[in-house]
Amino acid sequence: MISLSPAAPRLAKLTALSVGVAFLVTACGGTSTPSSTETTTSASGISCPAPGAAPGSTAQAGAGGAVPPATTITETPLKLGSLLPTTGSLAFLGPPEIAGVNLGVKEVNDAGGVLGKPVEVIHRDSGDTKTDIATQSTSALLGQGVSAIIGAASSGVSKTVINQITGAGVIQFSPANTSPDFTTWDDKGLYWRTAPSDVLQGKVLGNYMATCGAQTVGMIVLNDAYGTGLASNVKSAFEAAGGKVVAEELFNEGDSQFSSQVDKVIAAKPDAIALITFDQAKSIVPLMTGKGVKPTQMFLVDGNTSDYSKDFQAGTLKGAQGTIPGTFAKDAFKQKLLAIDPALKDYSYAGESYDAVNLIALAAEAAKSTNGVEIAKQLKAVSETGEKCNSFASCVTLLRNGKDIDYDGQSGPVTFSDAGDPTEAYIGIYEYQDDNKYAPSKEEFGKL
C-alpha cells in the first residue's frame, strides 16, 4: 500500500507558485471564507490548501437597448463548422462543447446575426487519433464553404487537420487544444484557441501537488502531443518546487492493458500519482485502488476529469482531484446550456466553445467580412484594449457605435497573443465526491 510520510523539513523549502496564482473559493460553497493558510487534510496525509477568496466577476457592458442595425455588407452569411468529438476517447467532451457552440450561435442570431445575416453552423465528428474521421469531416466542412472550424478538442487530432484547414484560408479555432506546439505552428495566422497552453495547466498542477504535501510523484502518461507535453510541464513545475518525479510510465492511444504501467509506478512508492490520460482512466483507476492507492493521492487532468458515477463503486474517487482550464461554469450559464441540451451532465470547455463563436462573430463584424483571413486579422483586436463586454449583443452594440471592445467571456478573461494563444486564464481545481462526480473546489489564475 502506498502511504504518505508526514510533512518533512524538506517541505518547508517548497517554493511558492511560479505563475502568480491565488486560490479562489467556489461560488457554490457556504458563506464563510477560510484564510489562505487554512488546509484540508485527506486521509492519506496529503494536505491541500483550502479555498480562499471568491474571484471577481467581469463587469457587464450593457447593450443600452436594442442592438443597432448592421452596416449593409454584400457578404455571404457567416458559416461555421464544428469538429468536436462524438466518438472516441474524448467523446465525453463533445456534448458540452457542442452545446456551447449552439448556444453561442443562438445568441448571435437572436441579436440579429453577423452583418445582418443569421449564422449557420454545421457539426461533424472529430473522432480521435485512432481513426481518420477528422480528415473526412474537415474535407466535408471545407466543401460546404465554412469560414471557421471550431475544434478539434484533442491536440493530437488537430495536428492531423491544422494544415488542411489553415491551408484553405479557413480559421481553425479550438476550445480545448492545450499542446504548446501550436504556439509556434506555421498556421498563417489562422489558428486560435480559447484554452491556454499546457505550460499553464502543467505549472498549476505541478505546484498544487507540492502545496498538498507531496514530495514525490509518479505519472502515467498518454504518449501523444497532449500527454507528453502536459507531463513535461507538470514535471518541471513540481521539481522546481522541490519535489521529485520518481516514475513516468507511457502508454499509447488504443492500448487496453495498463497493469505494467501501474505496477511500475506503485513500485516507486510516490506520495501522489498524476494520471495524464483520456478515458483510459476508467481502466487505470480500479487497478490502482485495487493495489492500495488512496483516491486522495490521485490527481487527474482535463482529459479525464469526468463524471464516473456510472463507472465505479461509490467512494472510489472520493477526495481525488483534477484540473480543467477555464473558470467554473456559472449557474446561469449552465441553465442556458441545459436549455440547448437537457441531457448535459458535464460542462468542460462549454465556455471556451461559446466564447469561440462570439469572438469569431465579433471579429467578422469588426472586419465587415465573413472571409476567414479577414476575420482572423481582427480576432486579437476584439480581445484586448477597449471597452469591456461579455456577450455578443453588448459587444456588437459597442462595435457598431464605433467603439473598441475587449471581450471577456464565459471561460474567463480572453486576451490573445500574436500567436493566437490566451495570455491569461483560470485553471479550475475540482474534487471528487462520494458519488464519483466532481465538484468545484478552487480556481487559480495565471498569465503566460
Torsions phi, psi of 287, nearest 5? -65, -40
Confidence of residue 62 (pLDDT cuts 50, 70, 90): very low
Class of domain 9-54+198-325+426-447: alpha beta
Distance between CA atoms of residues 6 and 9, nearest Å? 10
Helix (H, G, I), strand (E, B) or coil at 326: strand
Contact in structure between 88 and 130 (CB atoms under 8 Å): yes
DSSP conformational letter for 380: T
Q: Quick check: 365 pLDDT over 70?
A: yes
Distance between CA atoms of residues 241 and 207, nearest Å? 6
pLDDT digits (tens, 9 = 90+) for 173-217: 999 999 999 999 999 999 999 999 999 999 999 999 999 999 999
pLDDT digits (tens, 9 = 90+) for 240-294: 999 999 999 999 999 999 999 999 999 999 999 999 999 999 999 999 999 999 9
Cell for 424? 491569461
Confidence of residue 6 (pLDDT cuts 50, 70, 90): very low
Asked if the domains 9-54+198-325+426-447 and 79-196+331-377 are classified in one and the same CATH topology, the answer is: yes
Q: Judging by beta carbons within 10 Å of its beta carbon (0-12, 13-18, 19+), is residue 56 exposed, middle or buried?
A: exposed
Q: What residue spans define the domains of the chain? A: 9-54+198-325+426-447, 79-196+331-377
pLDDT attached to residue 48: 79
Contact in structure between 182 and 191 (CB atoms under 8 Å): yes
Q: Which residues pair with 428 in a beta bridge?
A: 324, 443
Pick the CATH number of 79-196+331-377 from 2.60.120.680, 3.90.1530.10, 3.40.50.2300, 3.60.21.10: 3.40.50.2300
DSSP 188-207: TT-EEESSPPHHHHHHHHHH
Q: Quick check: 38 pLDDT over 50?
A: no
